[in-house]
Amino acid sequence: MDDMARGDGNASFYKGRRVLITGGLGFIGSNLATHLVALGAEVLLIDCLNPHYGGNRFNVAPIRHAVHINISDVRDTSSMQYLVQDQEVIFNLAGQVSHIDSMRDPYTDLEINCRSQLSILEACRHHNPSVKVVFAGTRQIYGKPHSLPVTEDHLVRPIDVNGINKAAGEYYHLVYNNVFGIRSCSLRLTNVYGPRQLMKHNRQGFIGWFIRLAVEDREIQLFGDGSQLRDFVYVDDVVDAFLRAGASDACNGEVFNVGGTGPVSLGELATLLVEVAGTGRVRFVEWPPERKAIDIGDCYADSSKFERATGWSRAVGLREGLTRTVAYYRDHLSHYVEPPADAGTDTP
């Protein structure tokens, strides 16, 4: 909430506005809800609370009397047709985000990331065509980059089923914008971190898992020399990006990278994390062959298109963001850890 002042430009826009967040009890959704409540919006959160996914009632404990919570699954077409009605802005964040799960069970990934997006948009087309929709896209759709930093002109070449279905989900939003006038845009997020992120297992991205390992004073294993470059963006900056996109008709029909400051190697990240936490340690290990085979090498994004369109900029640097994040989990770790449901680590 420290950066709420940056929301000022959006304060008048969101005050009293009816806002729906799918995946609203998840990582980004709950942080977004927290900011929207502070801005005076009427917030409806949808989440299915699938125990393997990021939805967590504790995420909205401080605002639970200030929001409406509706437990439902975006795969449930009937509920969606009702719930989108009368909403003014939809932040469409519900998704299956595990690479590994998508390759084990591609149908579930398709149902959630592809078919459900279509049914949300169909619900808007038939029951609420004046709504504005902001979709949570992902840099994963670029696959292994052929040029860096990755811009929005980079080819979409997903390397897994999850990336394909997320790409299709994004394309639907653009087509519904262009053909049916459902004002929509997509933010292609890179590596987002911060409070309220899932860390009960390691299949939804590595950064939450690394933070847990550091906080629990465990060993963080890096493959190879840890030199792979990524960009990291603090969740409050991502929340600010969503708020700006939701309030800006200049974004309609467009896709935008929303990433972090200049590239950082995984080794630098882990070292900084351990330093900030004062606990945990880093160890470099051999690449497991099956992981090397799906490694995408370096990947970091150019967010300048979004900066130009909305005036967005990042306010929280990596050290500051990690410091806040570690502090949050030191206070609340018990609400975020459970015995891992399954083995396997997701690709950095």
- Measured between alpha carbons, how far is 212 from 218 in angstroms, rounded to an integer? 8
3-state secondary structure of 48: coil
Query: CB-wise, 115 or 200, nearer to a second copy?
Result: 115
Residue bearing tokens 């799960």: 101
Q: What are phi and psi of 68, to 5 degrees?
A: -100, 135
Tell me the C-alpha distance between 187 and 138, whole Å.
7
Q: Which residue, 85 or 151, has its beta carbon nearer to a second copy?
A: 151
Residues 276-295 close enough to bind a second copy by CB under 8 A: 294
Facing residues of 97 across strands? none
Omega before 149 within 30 of 0, i.e. cis: yes
By the rule CB under 8 A, 161 interacts with a second copy: yes
Query: Residue from 148, 156, 272, 327 that binds a second copy (CB under 8 A)?
Result: 156
Q: Which of 84, 164, 239, 270 binds a second copy (CB under 8 A)?
A: 164
Q: Is 284 helix (H, G, I), strand (E, B) or coil?
A: strand
Q: By CB under 8 A, which span of 54-62, 129-137, 162-170, 202-210 interacts with a second copy? A: 162-170
For residue 179, the minimal CB distance to a second copy (Å) is: 7
Nearest Cα neighbor of 193 from 264, 280, 116 is 264
Handedness of CA 182, 183, 188, 191 (dihedral sign): negative
DSSP 282: E
Total residues binding a second copy (CB under 8 A): 29
Residue 182 touches a second copy, criterion: CB under 8 A? no
Pick the stretch among 13-21, 153-161, 207-215, 229-237 that binds a second copy (CB under 8 A): 153-161
In the complex, minimum distance from the CB of residue 306 to a second copy, in angstroms, rounded to a whole number: 18
Does position 165 interact with a second copy (CB under 8 A)? The reply is: yes
Tell me the closest approach of the beta carbon of residue 293 to a second copy, in angstroms: 8
Cα(235)–Cα(314) distance, rounded to whole angstroms?
10
For a second copy, the binding residues (CB under 8 A) are 103, 106-107, 110, 114-115, 118-119, 122, 153, 155-161, 163-165, 167-168, 171-172, 174-175, 178-179, 294
